[in-house]
Each structure stands twice: as structure tokens, then as C-alpha cells.
Structure 1
Amino acid sequence: MTFIKLGDYNRMTVVKQVDFGIYLDGGDEGEVLMPARYVPEGCKPGDELDVFVYLDNEERLVATTQTPLAKVGDFAFLKVSWVNEYGAFLDWGLMKDLFCPFREQKMKMEKDKGYIVHVHLDKESYRIVASAKVEHYFDPSFPPYQHGDEVDLLVWQKTDLGFKVIIDNRFPGLVYKNQVFRDIRTGDRLTGYIDIVREDGKIDVMLQPTGRQMTMNLSDVLLDYLESHGGVCPLTDKSPAEDIYSKFNVSKKNYKKAVGDLYKRRLIVLCDDCIKLRK
């Protein structure tokens, strides 16, 4: 028995070809149309395709080989294409825009502005919809992370403390502003590192690994740089923090640790205006 995951990717078999596209085997849901514009060249009955299934303007199942910006269960940063008396319609990379009703908006959404939303199936209408009330959709279980774990981040919103982020498409977290050494904004996707999971489940996140792991990683990067730039780097441990960040995307503190590590290993020579590979 075949069950279709609406608003998600499905592996489906081509049943037949018609002038306006192909039909795919939807099991109990019947045949599902894929319009001709999305049909891969050379596709024929019996072929299996990985397709995204959603609802067209008449609420019928339709398949596409396009890749949307989000699927059901995802948090995403989406821009408003248009607004009417019922709500906002968001561009999620497919022909039919994604609906966000007014009741699911924290503030009235405006055309051409972007918002963090959660994509889900409406329990009453069985339609794919978006909600800007993302805090209602976080995983309620206790976060399974340990200090230093690498995670995927979606920047949610700026606060007085720093930036709220969504971790691994599941949990809320916070990056304190003293951990931010570059411009970030709502909708950015970043790699982060768990600092601490508190007893109440709240998570503090860093944008850089810490301790020996960070030092060794940056030491390798710095060695590669020296080897590919004639054995010389114009940045010392006294260089401006912004110059260091611009070149290596790290804080001055972590850069100094990496330089110190290479010096202790007798791999570099420290000069007044640069560092050099030891010959």
C-alpha cells in the first residue's frame, strides 16, 4: 500500500504519459499528475522518480521535480509574494505560493518582506500552510546535545542578548552577542556549536568551536594559508581584530591561540609585522 507524504518528497512510479505531462502511481490516492514542464527528458512508464507532492490551485495532488525552499515540518525564511483579505502568500519556490493566514501571523505580513515560518499541514483543511508563530512548533523533548556538538542554525530574530536561533530544525537556542564577530541577520543559515544545555532545556550556542578543537582546526587553516602564500602571513597577534576576522572568520582571541600553538610546535617564526613558516 502506497501512502503519499503531502508537502514532502515521495518516490513514485510513472503510470502513463499524456500530452500535458505524466501520471504517477499514488496508491490509494489514485494517479497524481506531473505537468509536462517538470517531466525529465526521456521519462517513460515504469520509471521511478523522486518528486515533491503538494496541492494545486484546485486542491488536487500534483507532483514536481522542483525543489521547494521548505517542506512540511521545516522552519524557513520566506518572502511574501502578495497579500489579500485572508492572509499572506509566501514564495517557497513552487508555482503555487504558500498560504499564511492572518491568525498565524504575529504581525501583519507585508509584501516583499521576509519572515521565519513553520510549514505544516492544517489539521482541519489538510492544506499545507505556514505559521509565523514558530514557538508553537518546537520539539518538546529535552535536547540531546553535549558541549561542542556541531549543529545547523537558522537565525530567527535579534534580541537585546544576541540572536535567537533554531537548532537542527527542532529546538530554539540563543547566541549571545559577545559570540558574534560578523554581520548576521534573520534567515541566515549557519554552522554552530553547543555551549551548554541548561536544566530547563534552554540552549546556549556558539558560532565557533572552543578549546583545543578550535585551536587545532585554525592551526591547520593557518598552516595551509602560509604554505600557499609563500610562507608569510601579514597578521600577527597584535593585528586589529577586524582584520583577523576579515581574513580567517575568527576572533582575535582564537587566532592568537592558533599562532601560539604553531609557535610552540616550532612551525613558525614570529616577526614584528608578520608570521613566517620556519625553514
Structure 2
Amino acid sequence: MINIGKMNRLTVSAELPFGFHLSTPEDPDRLVTLMSENAPDNIKQGDKIDVFVGTDEHGELVAYHNQPAVMVGETAVLTAVSVTDFGAFFDWGLDKDLLVKTRQQEFPIHQGMRCLVHVYMDEHTGCLLGSTRLHSFYREQSPYLNEGEEVQCQVYAKTPLGFKVLINQNCLGLIFQSDAFKPLKIGDVTTGFIKAIREDGKIDVALQPQLHKGRAKLEQQIIDDLHAHGGFSTITDKSPADDIYQRFNVSKGAYKKALGSLYKQRRITINPEMIKLNKENAKK
């Protein structure tokens, strides 16, 4: 069986003036063309080789000795190398660029843009194509996720509400602008936490843990940081948000709430210039 859009081990069944025909013992009449410029050196009839099987513009099977950056059913960040009236072409590591038709674009694509592209086989033409409209291939719900769960997110689009993300390479969600305390751009991979699962099953993601669990973890990070720096820190509730993010990977709002909790517990003293660990409550 030949798996289109995947790597296959095929047999060289014939040598041609311009290349080779490849096939499998199970289906010897289904031929894949390997052009000479895409073939490894010194191959001959009867050899078994590993190739990527793709399609040409007519849907005919063609082989490449090198593996592309993304295969059918997968999603990866690719760069647009040219744009026409009917679509954009992306470099995916093969001589023939991957076409994303205009109707399969989540947003208008310009040359040089980096986009999250999903590879699929068009059922009408049999050709391998790309799409940035991930909602056509991934669900916006998941029965396997729970609120508060840590997940991996990859940004694939920006909207007025925030950022659309691919969660765990499995389903789609949204990071609201108010929950995006650090800069995000298309293709970025970041850790997130399931903030809410709505009544319709759609998923909201935040970049930091919610409520008391996240705050308790951050409070311990602050105490550990104070111990590591002799009981003092110049990162206060007045510090720039970027400085706080660089040290603790959280928003300024979350940091201020954690400081307030530690202050109420009398574990720290706060003044405009510094935070000091209270020695009588200095346990880690």
C-alpha cells in the first residue's frame, strides 16, 4: 500500500530516461515517478528506497528522496515564498512548494509571512494542499481536557478578542487579549492553562495558572527567589511588567496578588525600593 503524503519504502521497478518508476509488491501496477534530480546516487532497478510520496498538479504520484517539514495530517510553521491571485506557496522542503489556496487562508497571506499550515489531501483532485484554516481539521472541543490543566499552545491566528491557538496538537482554543500578558505572534509555542470550558465546549486558555493553585506556586517561587538572593529583591509591585515576566514568567497583576498574600502572611516586608524576607517567617 502506498501512503500519499507520507514516507514509504518502495522498490525501483523500472529505469527511465528522466528518472525511475517505483512501486510496491502488493500493488505493482500503481507507479510512483521519481525524477532523476530527486533520486539518490547510484540507485538501480530492484533497489528498495525510502521516499516521500506526493502529487503533481494533476494528482499523479511523484516521489522525493528527502522528507518535507510536514506531512499529510500534520501542522507546522512554514514560510510563504510567493503569492498569486489563487493562493500562496510555502516552502516545505521539497522542490515543489506547498499551495495554500485563497479560500483555505485564515487571513490574507503575504510573501515572507510565517504561518501555521496544515497539510491535507484534496478529495476532488487527489492533490496535497495546505490550509491555515485549522478549524476545518481540528475540533474546538475536547473531552480529555479539564479546567486548570497545563497544556502546550501554538498560536495560529490573531483576532480582535485575542489569539487562536492549537492545543496539544489536538484541538483549538482561544487566549483572550486580557490573558496574554506577554507578546505573542503566529507560530509561537507557549505553555498555557485551561481557564474555562464553556457550555458549548469551546476552550479558553490563560498563560498562567488560575486562582489559588497558581498563586500558591508563585508565592513559593518568590520565597525561593528571596532565599537565593540573600533575603532581598528589587523586583517590587512597582517594577515594570517586563522585569517581572523575565524573573517569574507571570503577569504584573498575578505578581502583585502573590506579594499581597505573602505580606498578609507576614512572610515579607514591602517598600517602594525592595522586598525583604521576614526572618522570623523565613522557612521555605
TM-score by length of 2: 0.70
Pick from 4, 7, 22: which aligns with 2:5? 7
**Aligned partners of 2:140 and 2:202 also within 8 Å:** no
**For the residues of structure 2 that align with 1:92 and 1:230, how far apart are their CA atoms?**
51
Q: How does 1:113-262 map to 2 (within 5 A)?
A: 113-139=113-139, 143-219=143-219, 221-222=221-222, 225-226=225-226, 229=229, 232-256=232-256, 258-259=258-259
SS in 2 for 1:204: strand
One-letter identity of the residue aligned with 2:3? K
Q: 186-195 or 214-223: which moved more?
A: 214-223
Shift of 1:5: 3.1
Is 1:112 equivalent to 2:112 in the alignment? yes
Q: 172-181 or 56-65: which moved more?
A: 56-65
**Aligned partners of 1:75 and 1:116 also within 8 Å:** yes
RMSD (Å), alpha carbons: 4.3
**Aligned partners of 2:140 and 2:203 also within 8 Å:** no
**Aligned partners of 1:35 and 1:64 also within 8 Å:** no
**For the residues of structure 1 that align with 2:75 and 2:257, how far apart are their CA atoms?**
36
Structure 1 portions without partners, runs of 5+: 40-44
**Aligned partners of 1:143 and 1:171 also within 8 Å:** no
Aligned-pair identity in percent equals: 37
Shift of 1:98: 0.5
**Aligned partners of 1:34 and 1:64 also within 8 Å:** no
**For the residues of structure 2 that align with 1:223 and 1:8, how far apart are their CA atoms?**
51
Relative distance call for 1:180 and 1:106 in structure 2 (3 A) is closer
**For the residues of structure 1 that align with 2:91 and 2:115, how far apart are their CA atoms?**
11
TM-score by length of 1: 0.71
**Aligned partners of 1:53 and 1:64 also within 8 Å:** no
Shift of 1:193: 1.3
Aligned residues: 267
**For the residues of structure 2 that align with 1:199 and 1:218, how far apart are their CA atoms?**
30
Structure 2 portions without partners, runs of 5+: 41-45
Q: 213-222 or 248-257: which moved more?
A: 213-222
Give the corresponding residue for 1:42: none
SS in 2 for 1:254: helix
